[in-house]
Amino acid sequence: MPAKSKRPTARELLFGDLWEFDPAPESAPAHIESRYGLFIGGRMVEPKSKRHFNSISPRDGSVLSRIAHANAADVDAAYRAAAAAFRPWSRLPGHERGKYLFRIARLLQDRAREFAVAESLDGGKPIRESRDFDLPVAAAHFFYHAGWADKLAYVAPGRSLAPLGVIGQVIPWNFPLLMLAWKIAPALATGNTVVIKPAETTSITAMKFASILQDAGLPPGVVNIVTGAGDTGAAVVNHPLAAKIAFTGSTEVGKSIQHALAGTGKRLTLELGGKAANIVFDDAPPDQAVEGIINGIFFNQGHVCCAGSRLLVQEDIADEIVARLKRRMAVLRVGDPLDKNTDVGAINSKEQLARIRSLVKSGVDEGAVIHQCACRLPAKGYYFPPTLFTGVTQSQRIAREEIFGPVLSILTFRTPDEAVEKANNTAYGLSAGVWTDKGSRILMMASRLKAGVVWANTYNKFDPSSPFGGYKESGFGREGGKHGLLDYALLVPR
């Protein structure tokens, strides 16, 4: 019997230090105010709490601005402004609401470079990600939902969509402006008004967005922005005027919100944590798969709920994939988020950096084999080198808990059944990836994986027309597409 032919091993090209990049800093101004109030009733107001806190740039630890800390009275004022604006806004013809959404989208495009710089300064993500992903996709969500605003009678056969009322929204720190667009655009398109709270560590682009709303001429009170910490978020969630709460964040906080709203009659959608499996079969194109793995875990420093943080590789190609990954990781550039050459920017906060370090230490202590990039980290700011673990077992913390950082855990499998069993052996169910040359295998895996989104031979691809959301402890409800519209509306007979 002839011996099975082996896949040729890729050769490594060595250029030494001849290909070092010169710094390419982004020079556009971010236009960040030294102090921000709250956006209530169409204008900036001082907080009734008379409290502010520092917004720290993870890039270098510097203070970017002073952000208002809203208390319960501030949140109440925002809800009352939204309630007063609800009736006239919801009665506007859909094509008129759509005009405002179109204006917002175009204004975001006009100021995209400014907002991208602010997003990178405030959140730590590389400027090329803010510029090429966050801003274009945020604008696309407003464009997409603007198109739906006058077509709500066609979303569900025999039914029309009616608004719910005032929507309370709480968004996370990993995609501040994009999550804002995901939440606000469908709410406004369906005729609702909004009270939204951005994350404490990344409030700046939300407050800058208030000027977009003013320039677009949005009626006062339709969107209100309150900033603060956990107590502010709790006030948004528990306010009696809220018809629905939309939350994106950690599973722990999501559980507490679900408990608090039980029996209140408020609608709820939750987009929570994840521990996605990125599954590579032995017939997958290796170069394409490696790029997808890199994008899946190191995009936005791993600060992604659907990050491919568990890599499942078929056993007979595991050594080759790991070797290719290490070579690819060696050329990742870690550093200043405002440098256009940077691949991996700053960790969002000192607290998140401490959590990543703790979980990485647990992986070493539990016997996994660590590999980190030999990169020079900036002296100031919060940075962590891209990291992978081999020899990982299902019981280890790094395979079970969401690290939310640039850390990849690698496991192996022999058969498709084993891959499915390992992939589904998690409390989460937000996303997964499948890499194979066989279309039938992709369809089989997609039907068996317990994940809200399954990517085939790609990863981290998003579109406003495609619904996004999870199962199990990754939450419920969908954002984007027709499914996302339905979560912001009542179905009424025509």
What is the average per-residue pLDDT within 183-194?
A: 98
From residue 16, give the alpha-carbon distance in Å to each of 12, 13, 199, 373, 386: 12, 9, 43, 16, 21
The DSSP call for residue 133 is I
How crowded is the C-beta side of 59, counted as CA atoms within 13 Å?
23
Q: List 269's β-bridge partners, or say none.
A: 246
Question: Tens of pLDDT along 144-175?
Answer: 999 999 999 999 998 999 999 999 999 999 99
Q: Checking DSSP bridges between strand 52-56 and strand 63-68, what pairing results, if any? A: antiparallel
Give the residue carrying structure tokens 């950082």.
405
> For 132-137, what is the mean pLDDT?
98
Residues 35-272+474-493, CATH architecture: 3-Layer(aba) Sandwich (3.40)
Secondary structure (3-state) at 200: coil
- Residue 226 DSSP SS3: coil
First to last CA, the chain: 70
Pairing of strands 159-163, 489-493: antiparallel
- Domain residue limits, the chain: 35-272+474-493, 277-456
The pLDDT of residue 8: 54
pLDDT tens-digit profile of 363-412? 999 999 999 988 899 999 999 999 999 999 999 999 999 999 999 999 99
Counting Cα atoms < 13 Å in the Cβ hemisphere of 254 gives: 23
The residues pairing with 387 across neighbouring beta strands, listed in sequence order, are 372, 407
Q: Choose among 369, 401, 374, 395: nearest CA to 385.
A: 374
Confidence label for 1 from pLDDT (cuts 50, 70 and 90): very low
Please say if the pLDDT value at position 131 is more than 60: yes
pLDDT, mean over the chain: 95
What percent of the chain shows pLDDT beyond 90? 93
Q: 13 falls in which pLDDT band (50, 70, 90)?
A: low
Domain 277-456 fold is Aldehyde Dehydrogenase; Chain A, domain 2 (3.40.309)
Q: Return the CA Rg of the chain.
A: 23
pLDDT, tens digit, for every residue of 268-322? 999 999 999 999 999 999 999 999 999 999 999 999 999 999 999 999 999 999 9
pLDDT band at 2 (very low <50, low <70, confident <90, very high): very low
83: left (phi over 0), alpha (psi -120 to 50) or beta: alpha
Active-site amino acid positions: 271, 305
pLDDT higher than 50, residue 28: yes
Orientation of helix 204-215 relative to helix 176-189, angle to 10°: 40
DSSP state at residue 377: P
Q: Give the torsion sign (CA, 134, 94, 42, 76).
A: negative
Give the model's pLDDT for residue 494.
82
Angstrom distances, CA of residue 244 to CA of 37, 225, 247, 264, 305: 25, 16, 10, 10, 22
What's the confidence (pLDDT) of residue 22? 84
Within this chain, domains 35-272+474-493 and 277-456 share the same CATH topology:
no
Going by pLDDT thresholds of 50, 70 and 90, the confidence category of residue 450 is very high
453-456 and 431-435 strand pairing: parallel
The answer to whether residue 125 scores a pLDDT higher than 70 is: yes
State the Cα–Cα distance between residues 415 and 422, nearest whole angstrom: 11
Alpha-carbon distance of 317 to 282, in angstroms, equals 6
The pLDDT of residue 6 is: 56
Rounded to two decimals, the pTM is 0.94
CA angle 171, 174, 179 (to 5 degrees): 40
Q: How far apart are CA 226 and CA 197, in angstroms?
A: 5
pLDDT in tens, 46-81: 999 999 999 999 999 999 999 999 999 999 999 999
